Amino acid sequence: MTTQTSTATVDEAVRAATRAQDDVAGAPYETRATWLEALADALDANADELVALADTETHLGPQRLTGELARTSAQLRLFAGVVREGAFLEVTIDHDTPTATPPIPDLRRMLVPLGPVAVFAASNFPFAFSVLGGDTASALAAGCPVIVKAHGGHRGLSRRVAEIAVSALADAGAPSGILALVEGREQGVELVSHPDVRAVGFTGSVGGGRFLFDLAVQRPEPIPFYGELGSVNPVVVTPGAAAQSLDDVAQGLAGSFTMGVGQFCTKPGVVLAPAGTGLAEALGALVPAEAKPLLNDRIGDGFRGRLGELATHDGVEVVAGDATSDDRAEASPVVLRTTVADVLAAPEVLLEEVFGPATLIVEYADLEEVSAALAAVPGSLTATLHAAPGEEAAAGLLADLRRVSGRVLYGGWPTGVAVSHAQHHGGPYPATTSVHTSVGTTAIRRWLRPVAYQTTPDDLLPPELREANPLGLPRRVDGVLESSGS
């Protein structure tokens, strides 16, 4: 049975978050950090129950889900550390300098929370991009209450995680209203439209994300919409790499594009390889014929529709796999092949994401064709180069790949996104709708805005900006970076 949250309940959740905002933002940073750790501890304590429930709804398997839950609790603890350190506030002080041109008054700037934010859970990561995923963790770390829109693909899990989370937060002394869950497509629209919601985080399809993005920016008071939408994640295999390590490339690619039944946002969907090297055939020989369960029928319909469009397009050949199946529940890997000329003739068809276990090998005659093809690739989360050591073309190709993506890999494969300080998970549109990452510690920046105080008496300043630095925060003072407490 489908359960939807009533509009009144959506309004109640947002109003409760609004009432909680001052208490959440004003809590000591140590207290805020302990809330995040309480959530992490609660996830870990209920891991067996939650993994079993997630598996019944997503078919992702206990091993994958156990690892994902551990990642989710780890990123909550990582953000607790970010809050304790305090550098995320970007405290900056310029003392009064009347001799400067023009004169500089006493200016003190920091970042402050936006207010209640809406988070839309993703289908393919029921823990790491869901109720207590990275968007929620970073928003709570920033001092923003969160209203999560549950994904229909794992409603039961979302409800249970929300129950556990709300209880853990209450036991940790967090204010009522700091976290809530709503359900239903219409309720998601209401959430984005609610005048008290100050920003939105979204992970999902281009169509759904673009609809909500347009809604967010067309409000009487537009708000930021941080959407992760679609990505083909191009890979370039140079002539040198094809000559020296074709088998290794084929094996790595086979593992990457079939991981999670191809339902990763970082799946390599377009691979540029030299014509005549046999990469498509080598890859086709490695992929299994066994079909595996997809997340849900809706994703199955989308996969079959896009795969059929791609496989029947002029100039595209199916090298391995069944591109004609109408099974909505399961899918087996499909390898396709085409040329740069065909891609350039119809990039809107051949370079659109296929969310599922399929990849398109695009064969090129020379590196000029590679550059031409990359110029047509839409913005992506990742781009990967496989080159031989010392290959002269590598530097130029890396520059081409940087123009179309937010994370450039030299060697390796893009599936799997580390949660760390240096990580960037974003890219030019349609990969994302902003320049900010949704993974890693700088994801917190999405939920903050700068405020500067000018010539304000010290006793009226927030503690973060006072001259004596009573909170021991890292700061930049008169252009010089100071570590905590210095």
The structural domains of the chain, ordered by start, are 7-229+434-480 (3.40.605.10), 235-410 (3.40.309.10)
pLDDT of residue 2: 38
Q: What are phi and psi of 406, to 5 degrees?
A: -100, -15
Strands 358-364, 270-274: pairing kind: parallel
Task: Report whether 49 contacts 82 (CB < 8 A).
Answer: no
Confirm whether 144 is a catalytic residue.
no
Per-residue confidence band for 379, with pLDDT thresholds at 50, 70 and 90? very high
The one catalytic residue among 144, 190, 265, 369? 265
Which two tokens mark 33?
A: 């950090």
CA dist 340 → 196, 363, 384 (Å): 49, 6, 18
Indicate if the pLDDT at residue 1 is higher than 50.
no
Give per-residue pLDDT as tens, 196-245.
Answer: 999 999 999 999 999 999 999 999 999 999 999 999 999 999 999 999 99
Indicate if the pLDDT at residue 485 is higher than 70.
no
Per-residue confidence band for 4, with pLDDT thresholds at 50, 70 and 90? low
CB atoms within 10 A of CB 479: 8
What SS3 class is residue 133?
A: coil
CA distance 94 to 114: 24
Task: Report whether 119 contacts 203 (CB < 8 A).
Answer: no
Strand partners, 384: 235, 409
CA distance 350 to 360: 8
Residue with tokens 């659109």: 352
Indicate if the pLDDT at residue 141 is higher than 50.
yes
Give per-residue pLDDT as tens, 431-481.
Answer: 999 999 999 999 999 999 999 999 999 999 999 999 999 999 999 999 999
Q: Which amino acid is at 200?
A: V
Confirm whether 391 is a catalytic residue.
no
Q: What are phi and psi of 180, to 5 degrees?
A: -145, 160
What SS3 class is residue 317?
A: strand
The residues near 207 (Cβ < 8 Å, ≥ 6 apart) are none
pLDDT of residue 112: 98
Nearest-10 crossing angle of helices 7-26, 185-193? 50
CB atoms within 10 A of CB 280: 23
pLDDT of residue 5: 72
CA distance 359 to 283: 10
The residues near 237 (Cβ < 8 Å, ≥ 6 apart) are 249, 271, 272, 273, 274, 277, 279, 386
CA distance 72 to 79: 11
The residues near 272 (Cβ < 8 Å, ≥ 6 apart) are 234, 235, 236, 237, 340, 362, 363, 364, 370, 373, 374
For residue 104, the 8-state DSSP code is B
Per-residue confidence band for 483, with pLDDT thresholds at 50, 70 and 90? confident
CA distance 76 to 187: 27
pLDDT of residue 484: 74
The one catalytic residue among 68, 228, 353, 369? 228
Q: What is the dihedral of CA 205, 445, 23, 82, to 10 degrees?
A: 110
Across the chain, mean pLDDT equals 96
Task: Report whether 433 contacts 227 (CB < 8 A).
Answer: yes
Give per-residue pLDDT as tens, 314-371.
Answer: 999 999 999 999 999 999 999 999 999 999 999 999 999 999 999 999 999 999 999 9
Q: What is the mean pLDDT of residues 402-416?
A: 96
